[in-house]
Amino acid sequence: MTGRTDDEPELDSLTLTGLEVFANHGVFDFERAEGQRFVIDVTLWLDTAPAAGSDDLAKTVHYGELAEAINEAASTDPVDLIETLAERIAGVVLANEPVQRVRVVVHKPDAPITVPFTDVSVGITRSRSVPAA
């Protein structure tokens, strides 16, 4: 994403926290066979002024539909890495026209780690491609 100019609006944020998905991602056979819980946090940056000014849902992102799309993307087509899963989810979010940037954190609270731990997660930030001038 390029730097903001004076005629560009500040971006607002919308956050979905703690979306729980049961899926079969992982590098080990038992993870693929048994599945496990993943928790997803997504923050998207967009200009909410058009929606706020018109009170029109069509001018923003419908977070209920977005949550369903994230759930679908996260619960199908198993992958080895949560990095890959985070990238997939970022693509789903950026497919929504008003979204300019997204931060995705994928938590794997039941990861197969042999020492006591609370959580393991991967976070990525991606921006909408800006066409070359």
State the catalytic residues: 108
Whether the CB-CB separation of 127 and 91 falls below 8 Å is answered with no
Whether the CB-CB separation of 58 and 21 falls below 8 Å is answered with no
Separation of alpha carbons 123 and 76, rounded Å: 20
Whether the CB-CB separation of 109 and 127 falls below 8 Å is answered with no
* The two structure tokens encoding residue 7: 């005629």
Identity of the residue numbered 6: D
